[in-house]
């Protein structure tokens, strides 16, 4: 770990494999140009969902992949974000652009409150606690009259498309760009995090807490930091999702399925790797959306059966996810020597 | 609010607590053996209740008599789980172990939803029906017998683990897998036995609960959460701790429901969990 840290310090931040840079730049330009080709709204929806789930999975990746703590109730932060924007917009007329930050702030506070007692202990305690939290939030919001209890919040519609209220009724293209920009920002931030000193410390905490402790890394503090960062990535996605569908209720935004799918995407793509969630989301979300179209009427839970099966198969045969099929030297930074 | 109502709540809580204790004991046994938390425990409970239901509905077998079959089915299910899933992830990282059993729970629940639809079912006119009145307290007969059978099964489990040779071998494997293997105890077989017994306990609890509880595909979630809390409260890996923890949870749930609001019972249990983890992280009887 020490030698890796020194290596990380000595190399400039931008020094990475040229092939990867050109591929990533090409993809980003392609993604920005995509709506110009006149995609129909289903494909736009598909891409929006991929971006959203990739960011959500990335958020889970920060806590589970980097610092090694499994959160089974990450949907709670998604719901907090969703309720924050809708509630403040409907009650006080605050634009979602500001209340996204309220959602992030509230999520961060909850992450600290949960993290302080739980993250001092081994992972099982945290996993069980987060499972309880995810369901507790759903129970509380189902009965909280101020936020519409079980019927949820129906965001007041603006008569026309509005960037201030972040509502677009005529086309999905603006949503596409909003989600795309959040997606790129998040990935850039997490990518920076993964190769920063903080990222290396988090991975040290994950791999060997005792060794990390002996190197003066305060293990529980770093776990809490990771949890807060993760919560703050999750909350804006909830906010944007609320603006996208404009009707939120506890059963939708606090659903345990959200916590399941972020876990699944990350484990499928490759846990602890920045690119894992992108790969996982771009494989799983199309499968899930198409299976919803073709198998949707047959009882509903078919895609969940596949999720469970895929999760077990991946855990048994490919614990490092699909990304382990890609040769390592493509992903790692170019050696300078 | 009279003393009778509080007494009634205490009795109800105690009866529920004994069931939680048995469910948690199975979880604790499995954790003690191989340090894997079975996140599919609630789904296994659901399977046992459905097994009881289908035996009643297809063959007219009363849940009371179908319990041995349910136990055997669940034990078999436990061996299958070990053979097809757990065997491969014994040496994996904790993260992968949690994901794998969580995946199993999603898989079982959604298969059940596909096969049996999410409808609520119940067993009509079981042999155990009605209620008895002791003083001013009403006790439902099925609940009473369920808790008594669970208590008996718990005592049986405890005697099995502490007195018989197989039980001692299980304990040895739990303490040190490799040392036990050196002494000629095959750890793989012990793990399979542990899974069979752990899920057998769930079979008893589910089979008895089928007498009076609604049977639906999501029934296990709450019970599993309470069992997790009971295991943490009693101390991971301690079986006798589960008994006390289960009773405490049952009492808190029913008193909290009576005194504050029944719809938030999950929150009271969560508060207990937080308190335990903050003040006594090793639990009441924990080894760690």
Contact A77, B105 (CB under 8 A): no
**Neighbouring C-beta atoms of residue B266, cutoff 10 Å:** 21
- Report the C-alpha dihedral over residues B125, B144, B266, A145, rounded to 10 degrees: 50
Q: pLDDT tens for residues A102-127?
A: 889 999 998 898 888 777 777 778 88
Kindly state whether B34 is in contact with chain A, defined as any CB-CB distance less than 8 angstroms. Answer: no
Q: What is the pLDDT of residue B44?
A: 92
Q: Is B287 among the domain residues? A: no
Q: What is the dihedral of CA B141, B147, B152, B153, to 10 degrees?
A: 120
Closest CA to A204 of A29, A66, A45, A9: A66
Nearest to B68 by CA among B203, B172, B265, B230: B203
The predicted pLDDT at position B79 comes to: 92
Binary contact (A68, B225; C-beta < 8 A): no
**A62 touches A225 (CB < 8 A):** no
- How many domains does chain B fold into? 1
Residue B17 is part of a domain; what is its CATH number?
Answer: 1.10.3470
Residue ranges of alpha helices (H) inside A11-95 are 18-33, 41-60, 75-92
Of B129, B137, B190, which is closest to residue B161 (Cα–Cα)?
Answer: B190
Nearest-CA distance A309 → chain B (Å):
6
Instruction: Report the pLDDT value the prediction gives residue A336, as an integer from 0 to 100.
Output: 47
How many Cβ atoms sit within 10 Å of the Cβ of residue A35?
18
Q: Do B267 and A131 touch (CB under 8 A)?
A: no
Domain extent, residue B42, equals 3-117+140-279
Which residues of chain A make contact with B94, given a CB cutoff of 8 A?
68, 70, 122-124
What angle is formed at CA B261 by the lines to CA B257 and CA B267, rounded to 5 degrees? 75
Q: What pLDDT does A72 receive? A: 85
What ipTM goes with this model?
0.82
- Write down the number of H helices and E strands in chain A: 15, 2
Residue B129 lies in a domain: no
pLDDT of residue B176: 85
Please give the average per-residue pLDDT across A294-316, as a whole number: 76
State the average pLDDT over residues A9-31: 71
Name the residue ranges covered by the structural domains of chain A: 2-254
Partners of A223 on chain B (C-beta within 8 Å) are: none
Which residues are paired to A154 by β-bridges? A247
- A320 CB within 8 Å of a chain B CB: no
β-strand pairing of B131-134 with B137-140: antiparallel
Structure token pair of residue A127: 């996993």
Contacting residues of B for A70, CB less than 8 Å apart: 94-95, 98-99
Note whether A311 contacts B273, CB cutoff 8 Å: no
Which chain A residues touch B28 with a CB distance below 8 Å?
none
Please name which of B99, B150, B100, B121 lies closest in space to residue B50, comparing C-alpha atoms: B121
d(Cα B288, Cα B281) in Å, to the nearest integer? 9
Query: Which residue has 């709540």 as its token pair?
Result: B9
d(CA A169, CA A154): 15
- Helix or strand holding residue B139 (H, E): strand B137-140
Considering only CA atoms, give the Rg of chain B.
19
What tens digit of pLDDT does each residue of A56-95 get? 999 998 888 888 888 888 888 998 888 888 888 888 878 8
Q: Is A77 helix (H, G, I), strand (E, B) or coil?
A: helix
The pair of three-digit structure tokens given for residue A322, joined into one six-digit string: 């699909």
* Mean pLDDT across A96-101: 86
Burial of A228 (0-12, 13-18, 19+ CB in 10 A): buried
Cβ of A177 under 8 Å from any chain B Cβ?
Answer: no
pLDDT of residue A5: 57
CA distance B104 to B282: 28
**Mean pLDDT throughout B100-119?**
87
Per-residue exposure over A268-286, b if at least 16 CB sit within 10 Å of its own CB, e if not = bbbbbbbbbbbbbbbbbbe
The answer on pLDDT for A157 being more than 70 is yes
CATH no. of A2-254? 1.10.3470
DSSP B146-176: HHHHHHHHHHHHHHHHHHSHHHHHHHHHHH-
Phi-psi region of B60 (alpha: psi -120 to 50; beta: other; left: phi over 0): left
DSSP tag of B49: H
B92/A319 touch (CB, cutoff 8 Å), yes or no:
yes
Q: Kindly tell me if the per-residue pLDDT of B270 is higher than 60.
A: yes
Pairwise CB contact (< 8 Å): A123 & B98: yes
Pairwise CA distance, residues A16 & A331, whole Å? 9
Asked whether residue B37 is assigned to any structural domain, the reply reads yes
Task: Answer yes or no: do B108 and A308 touch at CB < 8 A.
Answer: yes
| B229 touching A (Cβ < 8 Å) | yes
Q: Map tokens 């895609």 to a residue.
A: A303
CB contacts of A316 in chain B (<8 Å) are 85, 88-89, 100
Q: Which residues of A touch B273 (CB under 8 A)?
A: 128-129, 132
| Residue whose pair of structure tokens reads 């760009």 in the numeric block | A177
A280 contacts A270 by C-beta, under 8 angstroms: yes
Identify the pLDDT of residue A337. 43
Counting one residue from A and one from B, how many pairs have CB atoms under 8 Å apart?
131
Pick the residue of B106, B108, B111 with the most A CBs within 10 A to test the interface with A by mutation. Answer: B106
- In chain B, which residue's Cα lies nearest the Cα of A141? B264
Residues facing residue A25 across a β-bridge:
none
Cβ pair B110:A302 closer than 8 A: yes
pLDDT, tens only, A311-325: 888 888 888 888 877
CB proximity list for A260: less than 8 A, separation 6 or greater: A304, A307, B102, B106
Burial class, A333, CB count within 10 angstroms (exposed 0-12 / middle 13-18 / buried 19+)? middle
Identify which of B282, B258, B278 has the alpha carbon closest to the alpha carbon of residue B12: B258
For CA atoms A16, A22, A25, A27, the dihedral sign is negative
């Amino acid at each position: 770990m020490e030698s890796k840290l020194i290596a990380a310090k000595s190399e400039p931040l931008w020094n990475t494999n040229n092939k990867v840079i050109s591929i990533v730049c090409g993809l980003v330009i392609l993604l920005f140009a995509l709506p110009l080709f006149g995609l129909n709204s289903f494909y736009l929806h598909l891409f929006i969902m991929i971006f959203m789930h990739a960011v959500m999975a990335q958020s889970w990746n920060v806590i589970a992949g980097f610092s090694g703590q499994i959160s089974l109730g990450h949907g709670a932060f998604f719901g907090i974000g969703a309720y924050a924007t809708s509630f403040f917009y409907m009650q006080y007329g605050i634009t979602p652009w500001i209340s996204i930050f309220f959602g992030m702030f509230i999520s961060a506070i909850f992450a600290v409150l949960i993290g302080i007692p739980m993250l001092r202990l081994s992972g099982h305690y945290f996993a069980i606690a987060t499972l309880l939290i995810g369901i507790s939030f759903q129970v509380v919001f189902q009965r909280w009259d101020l936020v519409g209890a079980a019927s949820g919040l129906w965001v007041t519609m603006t008569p026309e498309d509005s960037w201030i209220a972040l509502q677009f009724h005529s086309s999905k293209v603006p949503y596409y760009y909003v989600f795309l920009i959040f997606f790129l920002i998040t990935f850039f931030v997490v990518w920076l995090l993964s190769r920063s000193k903080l990222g290396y410390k988090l991975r040290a905490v994950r791999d060997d807490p005792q060794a990390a402790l002996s190197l003066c890394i305060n293990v529980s503090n770093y776990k809490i930091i990771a949890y807060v960062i993760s919560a703050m990535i999750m909350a804006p996605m909830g906010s944007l999702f609320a603006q996208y569908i404009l009707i939120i209720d506890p059963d939708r935004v606090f659903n345990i399925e959200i916590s399941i799918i972020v876990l699944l995407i990350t484990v499928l793509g490759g846990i602890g790797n920045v690119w894992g969630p992108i790969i996982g989301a771009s494989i799983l979300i199309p499968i899930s959306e198409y299976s919803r179209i073709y198998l949707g009427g047959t009882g509903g839970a078919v895609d969940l059966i596949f999720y469970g099966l895929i999760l077990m198969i991946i855990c048994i045969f490919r614990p490092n996810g699909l990304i382990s099929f890609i040769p390592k030297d493509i992903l790692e930074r170019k050696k300078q020597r | 609010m009279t003393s009778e109502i509080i007494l009634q709540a205490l009795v109800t809580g105690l009866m529920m607590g004994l069931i939680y204790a048995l469910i948690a004991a199975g979880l604790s046994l499995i954790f003690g053996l191989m340090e894997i938390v079975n996140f599919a425990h609630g789904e296994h409970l659901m399977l046992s209740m459905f097994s009881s239901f289908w035996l009643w509905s297809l063959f007219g077998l009363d849940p009371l008599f179908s319990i041995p079959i349910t136990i055997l089915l669940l034990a078999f299910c436990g061996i299958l789980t070990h053979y097809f899933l757990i065997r491969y992830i014994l040496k994996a990282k904790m993260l992968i172990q949690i994901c794998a059993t969580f995946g199993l729970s999603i898989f079982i629940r959604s298969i059940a939803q596909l096969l049996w639809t999410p409808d609520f079912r119940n067993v009509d006119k079981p042999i155990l029906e009605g209620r008895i009145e002791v003083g001013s307290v009403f006790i439902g007969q099925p609940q009473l017998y369920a808790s008594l059978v669970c208590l008996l099964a718990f005592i049986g489990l405890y005697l099995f683990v502490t007195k018989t040779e197989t039980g001692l071998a299980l304990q040895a494997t739990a303490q040190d897998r490799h040392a036990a293997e050196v002494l000629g105890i095959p750890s793989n077989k012990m793990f399979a036995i542990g899974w069979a017994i752990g899920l057998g306990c769930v079979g008893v609890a589910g089979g008895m609960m089928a007498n009076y509880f609604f049977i639906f595909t999501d029934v296990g979630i709450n019970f599993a959460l309470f069992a997790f809390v009971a295991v943490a409260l009693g101390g991971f890996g301690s079986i006798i701790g589960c008994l006390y923890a289960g009773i405490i949870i049952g009492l808190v749930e029913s008193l909290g429901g009576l005194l504050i609001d029944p719809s938030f019972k999950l929150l009271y249990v969560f508060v207990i969990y937080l308190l335990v983890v903050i003040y006594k992280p090793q639990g009441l009887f924990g080894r760690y």
